[in-house]
Structure 1
Amino acid sequence: MTLAVPREPVVLTGSRVVLSVPVASDLDRVTELCQGKAVAAWTTVPSPYTRTDAETFVLGLVVEGWANATSCTWGLRLSPDGELNGMVGLDGIRDGEAELGYWLAPELRGTGLMSEAVAAVLEYAFAPTGQDGLGLERVVWHAFTGNAASAAVARRAGFRFEGLRRRGGTQRGRRLDDWQAGLLRDDQRVPAAGWPDETFVQRDPELR
C-alpha cells in the first residue's frame, strides 16, 4: 500500500491543546522534560538525556520522519505559541499501520490533556488521504508492563487490549515485557472493556 504523508508537518488542535512540530526553540524544554524520572523509566529515550540528544531527535529524526513519510511527531502545547509540554507521535508508518507513542510534562498529568491530544492524532491518522488524513487502517500501542498511566490513555481512546508480549520490548539494551493494544479505523473510540486488572495498577519501574 502506498501511503501519502504530507511533506510539511500539519498542526492539529483540540479544545485545550495545540499539536505542532517541535522546533529548535524547543530544544531546552525537550532536554528538561526528557530528564524526568517517568519519561526515562517508561520510554526508550536515552538516559541520561542531553541537549545533543534533543538536537538529534528534533532537528534530525522528527524532520526526517515527516519528509520520508515514516513518522509524524507533534509537540503538545496549550496555545499556538506556547511552550512544549509533551510529545505525541505516530511511528513506523507503513502498509496502513502506525504505532502511537506519547509522554507529558509531570505538572500536566492527570488533566486529560493527553487524551485530548491522542484523540486529535487518531482523527488525523484514520481520516482518508483525500481529506488531509493518513488513511490508516490500524494504530497499535505498546507500553512496558506496569505503565498503567499510559494504558489509561489508550483505554480511553478505544484501544482493545491484545496481550502481553514476553520480552517483547527493548529499552537501552534490555528486553522487557510489554503490553499491546490496537485500534482499527472502524472501532468505536470509547473506553474499551477487556483490559486486564494489572493494566490499572501503576508499577514502580525500579521493581521491574
Structure 2
Amino acid sequence: MSTSMRTFVRTTLDLGDATLHPWGRDPAGPERLDDLVAAAADPTIALWNPLAATDGKAAQTWLEAREDGWDRGAGAAFAVLAATDGALLGTVNLRWVDRADGLAMIGYWLLPDARGRGLATRATRAVTTWGFHTAGARRIELAHATGNEASCRVAHHCGYLPEGTLRESHLFGDGLHHDEHLHARLSTDPEDIEG
C-alpha cells in the first residue's frame, strides 16, 4: 500500500453507549476545554498519560495539535463521548510511527467515572479495527508502563499480544523513566484474538 493511501480520515465511530468523535476544534466549546483541564489534573492520567492541558489556553493548543494530525492524515485522535449527553469520557489516539511501513501506535485514557466498565477495551478495539481496515495499518503497537495493570488488561482484551519489556523506555508523569510492556497486533491477526 502506498504512503498516500495510509491516511487517517476523520470519521465518527458508534459504540452504542459512547461515540468516538474526531478531536479538533469541534467539539471544542469552553466546557470541552474545562473537561481537558480536569482530565489533566486526574492523578492516574497525570501519571500514565500526562496531558498538556493545565489551563484553557494549553487545552486549546492540545486540541489544535490533534486537528493538525487529522489534517495531515498522520494522527487519529478520538474523543470518547457519552451517547446520552456528549460528556467527555476519555480519548483513543492512533498515530503513525512509520507511515511508509504501515506501523502505528495506539494509546488511550479514560476519566475516573468511565473506568471499570470495559469502555477502554471497546473503544480501543474499534479504533484498532478501523485503523487496519480504513488506513491500511499493517501493525499497531501498544506500550504501557509495567505498573499500569489496567492498561495491560486492555491490551490483552483487545488481542494485543505481549512482545517484551522495554527497559526504562519512557518518561512518565512522575518524572521517572519506567519499563514498558510492548504489545502488538497485526492486520492479519484474527479479529477475535485475545492475548
- Superposed pair shares fold, TM > 0.5: yes
SS of residue in 1 equivalent to 2:122: helix
The alpha carbon displacement at 1:191 in A equals 5.5
Select which of 89, 96, 104 maps to 1:98: 104
Question: TM-score, normalised on structure 2?
Answer: 0.86
8 Å contact from structure 1 (residues 156, 190) kept in 2:
no
Rounded to whole Å, the distance in 2 between the matches of 1:16 and 1:125 is 21
Q: Runs ≥4 in structure 1, deviation > 6 angstroms? A: none
Rounded to whole Å, the distance in 2 between the matches of 1:104 and 1:134 is 24
Q: Structure 1, unaligned stretches of length 5 or more? A: 128-132, 194-208
Q: After superposition, where does 1:156-175 map in structure 2 within 5 Å?
A: 156-171=157-172, 174-175=176-177
Give the total of aligned pairs: 185
The alpha carbon displacement at 1:53 in A equals 2.2
Question: TM-score, normalised on structure 1?
Answer: 0.81
Percent identity for Structure 1 against Structure 2: 28
- Cα RMSD, aligned residues only: 2.0
Q: After superposition, where does 1:97-176 map in structure 2 within 5 Å?
A: 97-127=103-133, 133-171=134-172, 174-176=176-178
Which amino acid is the alignment partner of residue 10 of structure 1? T
Structure-1 residue corresponding to 2:185: 183
SS of residue in 2 equivalent to 1:192: coil
Rounded to whole Å, the distance in 2 between the matches of 1:105 and 1:147 is 15
8 Å contact from structure 1 (residues 98, 138) kept in 2:
yes
Q: Structure 2, unaligned stretches of length 5 or more? A: none
8 Å contact from structure 2 (residues 17, 84) kept in 1:
no
Structure-2 residue corresponding to 1:75: 79
SS of residue in 2 equivalent to 1:67: helix
